Structure 1
Amino acid sequence: MLGSFLIFFREAFEASMICSIMFAYLRQINRRDRFRDVLIGVFAAIILSIGVGIAIFLTIHDYAGTALQTKIESFTYLIAALILTYMTFWMKKQSRFLKRDIEQKMSAAFQHGMMWSISLVAFITVGREGIETVVFMIAIAFQTKPILLISGATLGLFAGLSLSYLIYVAGRRINMRHFFTTMGTLLMLFGAGLLSNAVEDWQQLGWIPLGVHPLWNTSSWINENSTFGDILHSFFGYAANPSALQVAIYLVYLAVMVYAYLRKGSSKSKLTVTPS
């Protein structure tokens, strides 16, 4: 639940902020008639994301309970962890330039008379967030109960859109540096869990015969199949009976990435988007 909440909160906030910036710019130059171009791009991106998600889910479902599903599952964990790590660092670096870059693309569209490019900007930026969400949610779906997955996603979507609304309509200001630092650090915990799960699958497949012996067994205290254990497993990568390699990968990834993330220079600017 925590994993799906955090993913939907972050992606919904980023996507809605991009749309808010585009709408605010169109209001500023008195071109509200082009709102429809933004909406076309947004809805096209949403349809694409849903379509990709359904296609991947059905493909994986066809191989449920087979070794191929375990292989697909393991690489989904790996890809999700890589994308999450890259996008976390990228967004922290680019957050200070986000508003400027989008407005420059919008301005270029008007200067060259290419109104379709407004839809393209919305489609690419929102679609990127949508595809990321699909990959992350599929990874989470392998390790959490459907009701918790849906509940977390719904609450995260509502929270992300609400925060964007406060910034756009109420003109609230938030420190983007603190926001992305906090979100990024939490997502690193999620990423460490994804890598740990990938290693577990590879060891089950016999691909990595090293460090397979379990270090402890806490299933009598917190079972992974319990609600609390499921939440810990889906977000923090909790394993009641982890192998030595799982624990090592988890701790090394977390230590290296969190250190690099907190050490890396970032923006101190605040972001506000007003409807003017």
Structure 2
Amino acid sequence: MLATYLIGLREGLEATLVVSILVAFLVKSERKDKLKLVWIGVAAAVAVSVFFGWLLSYTETTLLQDYRQQELFEAVTSIAAICFVTWMIFWMRRAARGIAGELRNKLEDALAVGSLAVGVMAFLAVVREGLETSLIFYAAVQGADLNGGPLVALIGGILTAVAIGYLMYATAVRINLTVFFRWTGVLLILVAAGIFKYGLHSLQEATVLPGVNDVAYHAAGVLDPSTWYATLLAGMFNVTAEPTVLEVIAWVLYAVPVLVLFLWPARKPAPAPAPAPAPQA
């Protein structure tokens, strides 16, 4: 539940920030009549994202009856999810500072094209986050006993993100988004490492990769599944008591280099050269 709450919070805040920038631009430019088009685009994006999440679940549980096919489908969605997660956290790290200006420029172009373009822009801005959320959520809860808990946690994270976005828009509340995205990015990298580990285990179960019986270590005494901390580590980062050798290698090979690259200080742009002095008369 903590992992899915984090996914909802992170993805939800990104989408909320995009929508708040669009709304603020329209309000300040006295084009409030276009706001309904933004909300129509947002509603359509949410509907498409929910449908995509349902389609993923329906495909595995209904369309795929063979166990090996189900394992392969889980593996493919897991690998696709970590690709999206990795791309998303590095994209936000690079583009966070200039996202507001970029969106304003795109919205100005959309307004010049026509009313429909405004709704399409809002739809495209939100649907990307929504599809990512559905895919990452599906990959994160594979093999878990749902009982509605992870879905409630995901919705709770999204609602928290909406509340934060509203407070930032309507009041003087300011949040250090650089720090927020940095530390949630670190946690999401660890979550993605667990998803990658699960995806390779699914490939082992489907006999695509060998070594399903090659256990790396036995740590049931330390990671007792009945304890709260073992449940937390397994649910958040897929750290389990008896992983295979390939699972451990996959977890480390993803988590360590990606964390190093993500936390490495960004290179500051070189200062612009000073203008040459004007020639004297």
Could you state the TM-score of these two structures normalised by the residue count of structure 1? 0.89
Report the equivalent of 1:163.
164
Rg comparison, structure with higher value: 2
The aligned amino acid for 1:14 is: E
Contact 1:203 1:212 in 2 (8 A): no
Structure 2: gaps spanning 5 or more residues:
269-281
Report the equivalent of 2:13.
13
**How far does the alpha carbon of each residue in 1:89-148 deviate from its partner, in whole angstroms, 9 at most, with x for none?**
0111111111101111111223x2422111111100100010001101111221323233
Contact 1:177 1:266 in 2 (8 A): no
2:28 aligned with 1:28: yes
**How far does the alpha carbon of each residue in 1:25-51 deviate from its partner, in whole angstroms, 9 at most, with x for none?**
011011111100101110110111111
Report the equivalent of 1:145.
145
Contact 1:144 1:230 in 2 (8 A): no
Contact 1:214 1:242 in 2 (8 A): yes
The aligned amino acid for 2:32 is: R
The aligned amino acid for 2:31 is: R
Q: How far apart, CA to CA, are the structure 2 residues paired with 1:44 and 1:239?
A: 39
2:105 aligned with 1:100: no
**How many residue pairs were aligned?**
266
Structure 1: gaps spanning 5 or more residues:
268-276
RMSD over equivalenced CA pairs, Å:
2.1
The aligned amino acid for 1:73 is: E
Q: How far apart, CA to CA, are the structure 2 residues paired with 1:74 and 1:7?
A: 19
Aligned in 2, Cα 1:224/1:151: closer, same or farther, shift over 3 Å?
Answer: farther
Q: How far apart, CA to CA, are the structure 2 residues paired with 1:58 and 1:119?
A: 29
CA displacement at 1:167 relative to structure 2: 1.0
Contact 2:42 2:126 in 1 (8 A): yes
Contact 1:192 1:254 in 2 (8 A): yes
| Identity %, equivalent residues | 26
More displaced 10-residue stretch of structure 1: 45-54 or 140-149: 140-149
Report the equivalent of 2:277.
none
**How far does the alpha carbon of each residue in 1:121-180 deviate from its partner, in whole angstroms, 9 at most, with x for none?**
110010001000110111122132323312321321222112112211113222232121
Contact 1:10 1:160 in 2 (8 A): yes
2:214 aligned with 1:213: yes
Could you state the TM-score of these two structures normalised by the residue count of structure 2? 0.88
2:195 aligned with 1:194: yes
Contact 2:5 2:157 in 1 (8 A): yes
